[in-house]
Structure 1
């Protein structure tokens, strides 16, 4: 009996040792893993931010600062300036203090990032269509940017981005914070000190070089739409449906920009027939994704003439219509249909599902 207990104990210890060694090997591999990337900061238009201190903590223990001056992007998720680009380890943690000028509030977020999700994207890469007739095969791309977004209410987002593609990897919540007085005293001769001054904070919000005058006017006397950027993250089960009177072939690409800051270039029929294109990169895939903010696409008419179009959706209308068609059922299948008229110089846009078809008449449509 004693011998059996000893044997069980020995097996358990060997198994535990194996797990420890495996974890150590994995951690060593992770620390050695390096990629060529840069950091950048994003925020919604009209809600400028500036990083007070901190940034992305790397697997090696070092960090990449997110401090780059006042940021006010044209669109949520669009990239700002970058101060550091090169081959280095990927981040494992976001630890940063930033100021939201619209709120005159400092926020602090200290959160672990999903390293395996980030590293998986960098390792795998993705494909983009070729525009070179001599080399029509798709290009293998690598992600090259880690984009950190800050929105009112302490919302912090992290995306991984490359040419024509940006994928959300996490949403984090900052908490309101006060800068200690002793630290304020030490910063009096530093650029960061200006962020603490109310008159400077006010000047940022009134500066047309930072916030365009039309955006200032549009936001005047309006409350900050807290929660809006989380609404953008809601995903629906939908796919594209194109109806061309003089062609049945979409060529080159469908480029989609989503309200949640993601973007992707999807393959049209022609490249799919010629090459092995992953299912997730095809324009006619049906899966859960955020609501589109704008799209561009191209097609070939029967006389072999290349045509293209672009559609910018009315935010209030498209969100309302998605909700109306799904009625809270996240599994409801929706089609976003673009119908080119027979003359080929205009298009109508429809959302179809749940036995209904609703026109998105407020969409801005351009055909080239």
Structure 2
């Protein structure tokens, strides 16, 4: 790990430790923790990690940013850090400067489409846009007669229907009704909605892997504290077996997510088979791990793990919510099958073995 990566990730982890303690946040019913956390993240330049300095960002590498997102997943933070990072990255593809403040991006579903009209306005509807209600600006990928464009839009000009995901975080419906963007520029050659979905999928995979690491840690700690029938439940073979399964799911998710992130960091071309295979495999495997791992963690905790007072749900529900962003595992499984089928049987083994 490079020295710069250590510094960036350690800075993020220190901020999360100081201002994003899960128990403190869980007990705060007013949401007063959000503003200090966002201010600290902004002062450290983390929300615009992937934006060059001349475009208003901090100019960190992809590797640095991926490390920050993994740490964010371990703390299950409920502020639009990942969304702002992705929005800044998307705008940077078209050399559009990023504004200050919270951002999100649209679309976040492969089936939604925003249209850039001939008069320069945007039309369309994007569902499940995370933190749209909290965002000041939205980075948009739009399709027009001349190809794909990237636009920056003032969120105040949009119709936003509030919604919630499983974790009670904003997951909103955003409607573009002939909205005039602040600016719009052509996307680079080869960059399309599929590329955005793959990048977003890897980001969510890293967050899921981070949350699973925390679920494992919380579950192991609890099993060594909880006593039943005059001995710690960690001594029971059934509990040991479940914890071993949870550790396996966590390790598999982390391996898949970090492998995909490393592939993108070293070869950020979304037209390559390697990026597609790694990103899709990560999203599918991490989504499966979120379901299996979350169930095991709650089973180890028993009834207490289901209470709103316990912090476990902060991790398990977010991990489950992140499965559906930027394409669900079922969507990507179908897309993977289509690509394999198109190549034919003779190309299957060489394609798999290349990874």
Between 1 and 2, higher relative CO (CA 8 Å, sep ≥ 6) is seen in 2
**The structure with more radius of gyration:** 1
Which structure has more helix as a fraction of its residues?
2
TM-score by length of 2: 0.20
TM-score by length of 1: 0.19
